[in-house]
Chain A
Amino acid sequence: MLKAAGPDTVMVVPACCTSVIQGIYPNTAFNVPVYNIAFGAAAACASGMSNAFRAAGKKTNVIVYAGDGGTLDIGIQAMSGAFERGTDFLYICYDNEAYGNTGMQRSGGTPMGAKTTTTPTGKTDAKKDIDMIIAAHDPPYMATACAAYPQDIFKKVQKALTFRGPTFIHILAPCPPGWRYPTEKSVEMGKLAVKSGMWVLYEREYGKVTIGPQSKAAMKRPLPLEEYLSPQGRFKGIEPKIVEILKQRIAKNYQRLAAEEEASA
């Protein structure tokens, strides 16, 4: 992500795993300035920063890097405001589908059926579709991505930063301790998410939808959802009726995106 963005970049990071992996004061692991800010305030902080840079004639990239809790839940108001105001920034949400720092509590990003420490018998509500919410703000560019496809992330970050105004990239981030699978299976888990259709890779550029080739292929012949669910401890003992609901949701999501792609072609 930072390789794509280049050195004239500032990151704004709310409470999330990235607040922890930077290292402990006075050290920092990043080669760009990182401004840490309170949980619900990243987009608003970035909004002030971007305006100040632009007023000073600076082109510095302002990138929010936030988790699903800081985006879908506590940060949604500030984010919606910043998008509505046309803030010139890139908002990246890396989504591991739960509050990871605090020990895996359910978030708005947790899928139905997943066990977390606050949904010990599995979440009964569906994952919040933040992409549709962002799309409703009509940003010039938004995309989904997945940590299993790093080159795709690189290209999308590069592309997002060529637009003026608010852009959004939503990255699925498989999480070994949270999803309960062995660490070395992270890439595989990300690919299974895409192949099963639980995660769809697509871009939305000035409203025009383009589904990524990996997801295009998956649409034609989706992997049985069970192949994605069964290696993960969080879905252990998931009720068949929940699996059925998830499958219906996948099909509906596919149909909607395919229709949007066709309509905007």
Chain B
Amino acid sequence: MKKIATGNKAVAEAVKQANPGVVAAYPITPQTEIVEQIAEFVSGGLMPSRYIAVESEHSAMAACIGASITGVRTFTATSSHGLLYMHEMTNWAAGARLPIVMANVNRSLGPGWNIWAEHTDALQERDTGWLQVYVSTVQEAYDAILMAFRIAENNNVLLPVMVNLDGFLLSHIMQPVDTVELGDFIPAIHLPHAIDPKHPAGYGTLTGPDQQFKFRWDIERSMRDSVKVIEETEKDFAKRFNRKYGFTEDYLCEDADVIVIALGTLGKEAEVAVDILRKEGIKAGSMRIRWLRPFPKLNLKGKDVVVIDRDYSFGFGGIVASEIKAKTGISLYSVIAGIGGQEVTYDDIAGFVRTRRIGEELWFGVNAHV
């Protein structure tokens, strides 16, 4: 059914359809509308879930952990400082192999108080064992939430999934969204290690060095296995609902001499920049990274690469650029832009491509090449 919705409302709608047993969440701008909408669904009898209005994000994730280990589907949503506050528990959720789904509305970090888009919040979580997907439209936010439950709960994965959408640029922007009749797209949850008083067991007990590394390896093994599960899920989604997704969204990459890479809405904006550049005779393409964990295989051989990071690792570099360099060994042009909601237009992106200096870093608006 076609509707017009904000990114936040689309997320809430998808969660309603996935019907988790427990939602535990704490409000934070710009995520608030998601939890308000879910609370409204629950109190209006449209969603049979239990909604736990916790007193902090640390408790939101802890409550999701407690609920999830009983074997029910769980969801939470947060942003920025909320995500950072739950950091201890995000590690716990992945380590405990719990298929919790979370929407994170990407927002800058204080100080100063800035509520606009930035990816540093989610990227600081990339080593926790969560799968991470970044979306670029309201439709994609809706679709990604539905797929996230199926991927997380797949018994070859059993890892939490974080769906990232840009603060305000997606969370508060209204776009058309085509909702689906879900049918059996998300099978009933079956958690093999669900807590059961009839079968007492210790969870997370003291673990020696001879065992701990095996648990860590098991997370990595499942992370690798998740690649196939993601592919299968996206394929089935396309078959059922006619919308196709992949690890990256490639636009005119095949014959391109230069490829722009970015996460989220910047990646979508890059497609417009590509059209402009193509008209000028520059063979540009855009490769929007959707799944950051597990990290996709990127074929960038023989291309100039321009990476736009709406984030930074101080003393190191743009995080996405650094990851691409580490994984592919290529040299690239690293552009730091859009931090704290800084406006970046498709014209700006076309400019980055025209004046690219491979091997260097640009802080957009600071006018300094490093």
Contacts and interface: CB of A to CB of B under 8 A. Distances in A.
Interface of A: 7-10, 12, 19-20, 22-28, 30-38, 40-41, 43-56, 60, 77-78, 80-81, 84-85
Contacts of B203: 33-36
A25 B208 CA distance: 8
Contacts of B59: 41, 43-44, 47, 77-78, 81
B206 A23 contact: yes
Nearest to A50: B66
Interface string B62-93: 11111111111010000000000000110010
Interface size range of chain B in the complex: 35 or more
30 contacts: A7-B197, A22-B202, A22-B205, A23-B205, A25-B207, A25-B211, A27-B205, A31-B200, A33-B195, A33-B199, A33-B200, A33-B201, A34-B201, A34-B202, A34-B205, A35-B203, A40-B58, A41-B58, A47-B66, A48-B66, A49-B67, A49-B69, A50-B66, A53-B70, A54-B50, A56-B21, A56-B72, A81-B59, A84-B55, A85-B53
A48 B52 contact: yes
A33 B52 contact: no
Contacts of A55: 21-22, 49-50, 72
Interface secondary structure of A, over-half rule: mixed
B67 A33 contact: no
A38 B88 contact: yes
A45 B201 contact: no
A202 to B, nearest CB: 28
A68 B65 CA distance: 23
B124 interface: no
B64 A48 contact: yes
Contacts of B50: 51-52, 54-55
A7 B197 CA distance: 7
| Most B Cβ at <10 Å: residue of A8, A25, A84 | A25
B196 interface: yes
A77 B206 contact: no
A116 to B, nearest CB: 24
B204 interface: yes
B190 to A, nearest CB: 14
B54 A30 contact: no
B155 interface: no
A239 to B, nearest CB: 39
A48 B68 CA distance: 8
B215 to A, nearest CB: 9
